[in-house]
Amino acid sequence: MKNSFGNSMAVTLFGESHGPYTGVVLDGLAPGIRVDGAFIGKQLELRRPWGRISTSRVEADEYQIVSGVFGGFTTGTPLCILIPNRESSSGDYDVLSHTARPGHADYTAQCKYHGFQDYRGGGHFSGRLTAALVAAGAVVIPALKEKGILIGSHLKSCAGVQDDSFACEPGELARQIGEVNGKKFAVLNAEAGAAMQAEIEKASEEGDSTGGVIETAVTGLPAGLGEPWFDSIESLLSHALFSIPSVKGVQFGAGFDLADGRGSSFNDAFRVRDGRIVTETNNNGGINGGITNGMPVVFRCAVKPTASIFRNQKTVDFKVCEDTELALTGRHDPAIIHRARVVVDSVTALVIYDILSGRFGTDFFSGRK
Amino acid sequence: MKNSFGNSMAVTLFGESHGPYTGVVLDGLAPGIRVDGAFIGKQLELRRPWGRISTSRVEADEYQIVSGVFGGFTTGTPLCILIPNRESSSGDYDVLSHTARPGHADYTAQCKYHGFQDYRGGGHFSGRLTAALVAAGAVVIPALKEKGILIGSHLKSCAGVQDDSFACEPGELARQIGEVNGKKFAVLNAEAGAAMQAEIEKASEEGDSTGGVIETAVTGLPAGLGEPWFDSIESLLSHALFSIPSVKGVQFGAGFDLADGRGSSFNDAFRVRDGRIVTETNNNGGINGGITNGMPVVFRCAVKPTASIFRNQKTVDFKVCEDTELALTGRHDPAIIHRARVVVDSVTALVIYDILSGRFGTDFFSGRK
Amino acid sequence: MKNSFGNSMAVTLFGESHGPYTGVVLDGLAPGIRVDGAFIGKQLELRRPWGRISTSRVEADEYQIVSGVFGGFTTGTPLCILIPNRESSSGDYDVLSHTARPGHADYTAQCKYHGFQDYRGGGHFSGRLTAALVAAGAVVIPALKEKGILIGSHLKSCAGVQDDSFACEPGELARQIGEVNGKKFAVLNAEAGAAMQAEIEKASEEGDSTGGVIETAVTGLPAGLGEPWFDSIESLLSHALFSIPSVKGVQFGAGFDLADGRGSSFNDAFRVRDGRIVTETNNNGGINGGITNGMPVVFRCAVKPTASIFRNQKTVDFKVCEDTELALTGRHDPAIIHRARVVVDSVTALVIYDILSGRFGTDFFSGRK
Amino acid sequence: MKNSFGNSMAVTLFGESHGPYTGVVLDGLAPGIRVDGAFIGKQLELRRPWGRISTSRVEADEYQIVSGVFGGFTTGTPLCILIPNRESSSGDYDVLSHTARPGHADYTAQCKYHGFQDYRGGGHFSGRLTAALVAAGAVVIPALKEKGILIGSHLKSCAGVQDDSFACEPGELARQIGEVNGKKFAVLNAEAGAAMQAEIEKASEEGDSTGGVIETAVTGLPAGLGEPWFDSIESLLSHALFSIPSVKGVQFGAGFDLADGRGSSFNDAFRVRDGRIVTETNNNGGINGGITNGMPVVFRCAVKPTASIFRNQKTVDFKVCEDTELALTGRHDPAIIHRARVVVDSVTALVIYDILSGRFGTDFFSGRK
């Protein structure tokens, strides 16, 4: 496979930043899932640029479901979503046919596609394609919710400012997920959020950009999901998460903090609480041996600062193989992390849907008539 | 798939800690790769426990290649390696049929396999199976080397002690890789290495365990490998790396350090040097937009402290669903990171082999007669 | 996977007979393939209904390539083709929400999709979707031709009338392929063709339908393609061919005729001719042990008579589980075999493209700039 | 993939005719399937050569399950079966390193593996590997039986002699399946069986070989299995069946006989019988639109005459690219169809197991404790 993931339910992404449409095909959905157009719209709204902390290219993100839905429910056959591109201004980008923006894929696309790539606006590498992923995620998130599975993310850090952490206790965590899912700028601590936005604006004024860390939690998963070796929960999630542009690190539970500690501090003790087996702490992020243990699955993604900055940068003209300089113009995000968080949620939802379909069968999410 | 990875060359792992054999099948190898038995033995030696910093269960790690090799060369048909288990002492483990070791997969295996799992010594989850992975990696590492591709890892940190970092400059990095690949305890800074070993011994004496961070570099890869979305280089590597027991985080280039910085500091400027396009820094770990850029691919794995410790731990009896306590006896590693580094190298080699076979065809590594 | 095939180049099909679009995504195409719009149009024309031997629902088969092509060449990123449905008349089909047309998928769709299927015009099972397959095939057929690979089919039999067989000799066979590819009704023997059309018209007048056998040849393939066991050439081709509606049998070379003969009559003797190794006969259809031997790959597909007939048929109402009768009205083909032949060619081309990409790498078909 | 098939439960085959072991890995089995050693032995016995109608190379077919079984039940982790080769006499085969046996894979293996193939006894292409497939099938056949699913095959024709056909009525068919599964030479009509054996012996005396047609039925499958397009039941079965050596044709239901008939004769009328929906005839082999309709799935495989014959044959020396002649010596089967029938059953069982696991989840076959 190339541009697909998923075993029981496959996600295939297509499109270019300046083509007529980007889109996605979901193949393997259960029949009978109610498709909630308002929710899809709301999720796309969370991804859309806004305010002074985002690009001024604002797409309406109309979307059209052209197959796989009949009478408001999924049919069980491939569901294709199209999202038209309207706001593209290709004139801005001609220099990119031969000049590499540092931190971007212009040069690597040239090496891979030998000059045939659509270089306008990053082409197929563009963050525009995440709109299709968000729409796809919004098809399955309500189906997961019906099974008691909640997914939510917040900005654990941004531009050096720290947010609070998600709670370990599942009930409190579920409350926090509900809270952040309703927020445009997803933080637990409002003061931290204000400070982050101020830092992004400051970077923007300086022609620079910032990154951050997204913390994500999934509650309500049964114990026993995942595979011991190559399809561990960590493997399946990280595979999909690292496909999100700008994600350069993924860690589960205490992650890199585990590395320098002792086993006696980080082993999560099992206990029986209200007749259920739980762990007292969740340093392993709800996963032992690659398999879910019934505690919330918790992970963090490192999102690098947006590569597009308005400063003069040293680079090369890769057609003539010569040093040159590049100063970007046009519309760019000084940060994408606050928009990326809904992409992380969507990709996570698609992976979890796929895992549950494989484990419990393709009818697991089916609304039987 | 469950216990396999790879598209053009698939790796399938099988076996249990206390079964007659563990093993691996490599399906999709090129014909005509010289199989170097001495090198396989040397790599298994690097994984084998030694000294006071490892378990006293020392397996001979004899291995037998039972298919796919003829006259000393791969045939191109599936290559199966068997590794017999001899040193197993199943009597130590009966309690594990109903008691969960904290941090281990005993409870999650019960949830997934409904009590049918081979619970002896961790069964299929056992680190024993990494011996087969190391043998498999040792089949392809020389083939990669013939194409100019080198892979090496060192302990970037262990038990709180930091090693130096790999050099950014490819030539110096290649020298460092050669150096660490020959070392039993792979560090760049010998003093740091001695301090790490002292810390492991100290933990061991206290019945405790330690973890660390492994830094890995791959040099000599052509630019243009990987896919823009779901089969990005980060996706493919992390998928396989997270299948290694105890790995809880993976980051590429500056990874989580990127998150709190500015784009102006972390964008890697492109330059022409000796007619080749390179970057001045390598904060993106040799990968832009999921595709290799010709610089070394560099990443770090967080390895959690060994879950087996000799202290009394709170846990549950999952058969009767009651709280209990557990004090491990038997033979356990106070650290596995110094042994895990060759597992990381092997898994990396298998992933890289698969990617190159897909890109350049199944004959790419073939020794044509 | 569900609605996809291909390892190196994946084909994903979507859409319903009465939805806004059907379409296809090709993921894994090489960059730099010239996309020939006129040829795509010509191939779609061969599939389009015509004359008294086809349905009177004639779609314009406009198509739109919405991704993966830039400046007239493939980019190497997923190529999505949309084909709008305009001629649908949904009113004809309401009875199918609860009544099974014999020989059709109405009842099995109900069992699989629990009543959520789009039952209008066969929904996702409709032959309409083969237009997208034909368009997809038309993207890769010219790329195969540039490598010296030709694909062609003719109606070996139809309604009991036999056509001549393809020649064994590769040069003559190539000439025949060129000939049949230009024909609307693809036969080698014009008299046989006229008789077939007369039989189809006769069946049509009687409210009945006919089937036939399509013979297909692929010339110019190198020896050594395919895998010894589960990805044999026969396996890969039959997998895709059996997805074409109405195909109920596939045989290679002498096929079922081999079964009752002797080894001494059917073993194809190898000979050296003009410095190349060939076989004197081609009873094995160019394949030994699942691998191409350099001779033309030749196979036959049994196409059952069109299931839609205008006679009263016994069937069931599957909602109330009662016997009933059904007399179809509307527009239906008395035969589809003359239209199906270009679908067989297209599917064959996609499979061959995939096999060659896997063997020789994803750049094999690339037009390097 | 190369040497694997299956999505939810993958089958990977390895080994060579003259290597130490052939074997198979089943990855994705449910936990808790009782493994019946006596049944595995009985199935291997059906495949083993016997009498004057088979080769005199008779392997004991001892087998060893080295992973994935604990206490007599599957664990749910990969199950590896090894079958040792003992009766190999490599001296017979040296000429095959440069001479192609007509109808065999010697030349195509040379083209694919560039001379690195293990040419002894057909190497990896050898029918010996079907012993591992039979053992694998024997693990899942009892699990299918527990779900009410029966599989059986008989020799519909052999050496020009016809057997009766399987009954259409499911009850009678189940009885016939039970009958042929207990027979060493599987025919419905004992006289036909005697005539077939006489014909095989006659061919053998003449240094020649024969083939035939195997008819297979699967009863007890629920309606609604399979996918509308590329993973149709026909696609999945034919993919696996064409991997069996000597199979050159596969047809479902009336197959090629459908081609020359009329829709009015071949559409299977639906009826309600005892509250269940059935068809009056089964010309579509239990499959409509690629999906099971609840009737028995019935198909036929064409098995070509054994390629190994004792007559002088024209061929080439492919190392020096010259015409030569070849007269085989050694031990060869004058027919393999009576032994192949259990291979067809086994492969069918593995495919059906995989389909049911995908549809109903990986625990579908699990024996919950």
Kindly state the tokens that stand for B106: 């005993």
- Point out the least confidently predicted range of A310-319, B318-327, C195-204, D56-65: D56-65
Structure-model confidence comparison of residues D91 and A366, the more confident one: A366
The distance from CA C131 to its chain's CA centroid, rounded to whole angstroms, is: 10
C155's enclosing H/E stretch is: strand C150-158
Q: What are phi and psi of B46, to 5 degrees?
A: -65, -25
pLDDT over 90 at D61, yes or no: no
Q: Is C111 on the interface with D (CB under 8 A)?
A: yes
List the B10-15 sheet strands across, edge first: B4-5, B10-15, B21-27, B79-84, B64-67
Q: Is D4 on the interface with A (CB under 8 A)?
A: no
Q: Is A132 on the interface with B (CB under 8 A)?
A: no
Average pLDDT, chain B: 94
pLDDT digits (tens, 9 = 90+) for A162-183: 999 999 988 999 999 999 999 9
Give the per-residue pLDDT at B86. 83
* Cβ–Cβ gap D360/A363 under 8 Å: yes
User: Cα dist. B300→A246, A256, B287, B313, B344 in Å?
Assistant: 17, 10, 14, 30, 10
Mean pLDDT of B343-361: 97
Per residue, the 3-state secondary structure of C38-89, as one string, reads: HHHHHHHHHHCCCHHHCCCCCCCCCCEEEECEECCEECCCCEEEEEECCCCC
Q: Is A149 on the interface with B (CB under 8 A)?
A: no
pLDDT digits (tens, 9 = 90+) for B14-69: 999 999 999 999 999 999 999 999 999 999 999 998 877 777 766 677 899 999 99
User: Cα dist. D47→A83, C300, C352 in Å?
Assistant: 57, 30, 34
pLDDT digits (tens, 9 = 90+) for D259-283: 889 999 999 999 999 999 999 999 9
Alpha helices (H) in chain A, listed in sequence order: 37-47, 106-113, 130-146, 170-181, 190-205, 233-241, 256-259, 263-266, 337-360
Q: Is C346 on the interface with A (CB under 8 A)?
A: no
Q: Is B281 exposed, middle or buried (0-12, 13-18, 19+ CB in 10 A)?
A: middle
Give the per-residue pLDDT at A7. 92
pLDDT digits (tens, 9 = 90+) for B249-292: 999 999 999 888 999 999 999 999 999 999 999 999 999 999 99
For residue C90, name the pLDDT band (cuts at 50, 70, 90): low
Q: Is C227 on the interface with B (CB under 8 A)?
A: no
Residue to substitute from D360, D364, D365, interface A, most A β-carbons within 10 A: D360
Residue found by looking up tokens 């859409």 in the block: C15
Give the per-residue pLDDT at B333. 87
pLDDT over 90 at A209, yes or no: yes
Residue to substitute from C67, C106, C112, C364, interface A, most A β-carbons within 10 A: C67
C-alpha distance from D71 to closest chain C C-alpha (Å):
32
C-alpha distance from B186 to closest chain C C-alpha (Å):
36
Cα–Cα distance, C348 to D1 (Å, whole number)? 19
pLDDT over 80 at C277, yes or no: yes
Q: What percent of chain C has pLDDT over 90?
A: 86
Give the per-residue pLDDT at D331. 73
Q: Is B7 on the interface with C (CB under 8 A)?
A: yes
Residue pair B190/B228 in contact by the 8 Å Cβ criterion: no
Cα–Cα distance, A202 to A184 (Å, whole number)? 20
Kindly state the tokens that stand for B122: 């961790």
* Cβ–Cβ gap C230/D3 under 8 Å: yes
* Cβ–Cβ gap B27/D12 under 8 Å: yes
Give the per-residue pLDDT at A89. 66
Give the per-residue pLDDT at C332. 81
pLDDT over 70 at A96, yes or no: yes
Q: Using alpha carbons only, how large is chain B's radius of gyration in Å?
A: 21
Q: Is A273 on the interface with C (CB under 8 A)?
A: no
D257's enclosing H/E stretch is: helix D256-259
pLDDT digits (tens, 9 = 90+) for D114-135: 999 999 989 999 999 999 999 9
Give the per-residue pLDDT at B347. 98
Q: What percent of chain B has pLDDT over 90?
A: 86
pLDDT over 90 at D55, yes or no: no
Positions of E strands within B206-349 = 212-219, 247-252, 270-273, 276-279, 287-288, 291-292, 297-303, 313-317, 322-326
Nearest to D359 among A7, A359, A361 (CB): A361
Nearest to D316 among C249, C270, C323 (CB): C270
**Amino acid at position A112, single letter:** K
Q: What are phi and psi of B183, to 5 degrees?
A: -95, 145
Chain D partners within 8 Å of C125 (Cβ): 228, 289-290
pLDDT over 90 at A50, yes or no: no
Query: For residue A23, what are the contacts with CB-CB under 8 A and spacing of at least 6?
Result: A13, A14, A15, A80, A81, A82, A83, A132, C66, C67, C80
Chain D partners within 8 Å of B133 (Cβ): none
Question: What is the interface size between B and C, counted as CB pairs within 8 Å?
Answer: 24
C-alpha distance from A323 to closest chain D C-alpha (Å):
43
Q: Is B119 on the interface with A (CB under 8 A)?
A: no
Mean pLDDT of D164-186: 95
Q: Is D289 on the interface with C (CB under 8 A)?
A: yes
* Cβ–Cβ gap C76/A10 under 8 Å: no
Residue pair B150/B220 in contact by the 8 Å Cβ criterion: yes
**Amino acid at position B315, single letter:** T
Q: Is A230 on the interface with D (CB under 8 A)?
A: no
pLDDT over 60 at D1, yes or no: no
Q: Is B362 on the interface with C (CB under 8 A)?
A: yes
Give the per-residue pLDDT at A29. 97
Q: Supply the DSSP string of A9-36, one letter for each residue.
A: SEEEEEE-TTSSEEEEEEESPPTTPBP-
Q: Is the pTM of this model over 0.95?
A: yes
Residue pair A357/A365 in contact by the 8 Å Cβ criterion: yes
C-alpha distance from D361 to closest chain C C-alpha (Å):
15
Cα–Cα distance, B248 to B245 (Å, whole number)? 9
Average pLDDT, chain D: 94
Angle between helices B337-360 and B130-146 (to 10 degrees): 50
Cα–Cα distance, B31 to D285 (Å, whole number)? 41
Nearest to B362 among C77, C228, C358 (CB): C358
Nearest to D66 among B19, B25, B75 (CB): B19
Question: What is the interface size between A and C, counted as CB pairs within 8 Å?
Answer: 188
Cα–Cα distance, B114 to A360 (Å, whole number)? 14
Q: C67 to chain A: nearest residue by CA?
A: A15
Q: What are phi and psi of B45, to 5 degrees?
A: -60, -40
* Cβ–Cβ gap B112/A261 under 8 Å: no
Residues of C (46-65) whose Cβ lies below 8 Å from A: 64
pLDDT over 90 at D88, yes or no: no
Chain A partners within 8 Å of B316 (Cβ): 270-272, 277
Residue pair A10/A21 in contact by the 8 Å Cβ criterion: no
pLDDT over 90 at A91, yes or no: no
pLDDT digits (tens, 9 = 90+) for C322-331: 999 998 877 7
Residue pair B229/C25 in contact by the 8 Å Cβ criterion: no
pLDDT digits (tens, 9 = 90+) for C124-181: 999 999 999 999 999 999 999 999 999 999 999 999 999 999 999 889 999 999 999 9
Cα–Cα distance, A344 to A336 (Å, whole number)? 12
* Cβ–Cβ gap A116/C76 under 8 Å: yes
Q: Are strands A297-303 and A212-219 parallel, antiparallel or unpaired?
A: antiparallel
pLDDT over 80 at C297, yes or no: yes
pLDDT digits (tens, 9 = 90+) for D132-151: 999 999 999 999 999 999 99
Q: Is B267 on the interface with C (CB under 8 A)?
A: no
Nearest to D369 among B66, B114, B366 (CB): B114
C213's enclosing H/E stretch is: strand C212-219
Mean pLDDT of A75-91: 86
Cα–Cα distance, C207 to C200 (Å, whole number)? 11
Q: Is A362 on the interface with D (CB under 8 A)?
A: yes
Give the per-residue pLDDT at C91. 63
Q: A30 to chain D: nearest residue by CA?
A: D359
Q: Report which of D208, D212, D206, D202 is spatially closest to residue D159, judged by C-alpha positions.
A: D212
* Cβ–Cβ gap D363/A364 under 8 Å: no
Chain D partners within 8 Å of B73 (Cβ): 116
Chain D partners within 8 Å of C201 (Cβ): none
Residue pair D233/D355 in contact by the 8 Å Cβ criterion: yes
pLDDT over 70 at B360, yes or no: yes
Q: Is D358 on the interface with A (CB under 8 A)?
A: yes
Structure-model confidence comparison of residues B28 and A58, the more confident one: B28
Q: Are strands B73-74 and A270-273 parallel, antiparallel or unpaired?
A: unpaired
Give the per-residue pLDDT at A55. 76
Residues of C (63-102) whose Cβ lies below 8 Å from A: 64, 66-68, 70-71, 73-80, 82
Mean pLDDT of B207-235: 97
pLDDT over 90 at C16, yes or no: yes
Residue to substitute from C95, C125, C264, interface D, most D β-carbons within 10 A: C264
Q: Kindly provide the ipTM of the predicted complex, given to two decimals.
A: 0.97
Chain D partners within 8 Å of C212 (Cβ): 259-260
The distance from CA D55 to its chain's CA centroid, rounded to whole angstroms, is: 18
Q: Report which of A150, A214, A151, A149 is spatially closest to residue A187, judged by C-alpha positions.
A: A214
pLDDT over 80 at B130, yes or no: yes
Give the per-residue pLDDT at D335. 92
Give the per-residue pLDDT at D92. 62
Give the per-residue pLDDT at C116. 96
Give the per-residue pLDDT at C3. 86
Mean pLDDT of A71-85: 97
Residue pair B29/B74 in contact by the 8 Å Cβ criterion: yes
A138 half-sphere exposure, CB direction, 13 A CA radius: 26
C-alpha distance from B204 to closest chain D C-alpha (Å):
32
Give the per-residue pLDDT at A71. 96
Give the per-residue pLDDT at A60. 72
Cα–Cα distance, D146 to D33 (Å, whole number)? 10
**Amino acid at position B333, single letter:** D
Average pLDDT, chain C: 94
pLDDT over 60 at B1, yes or no: no
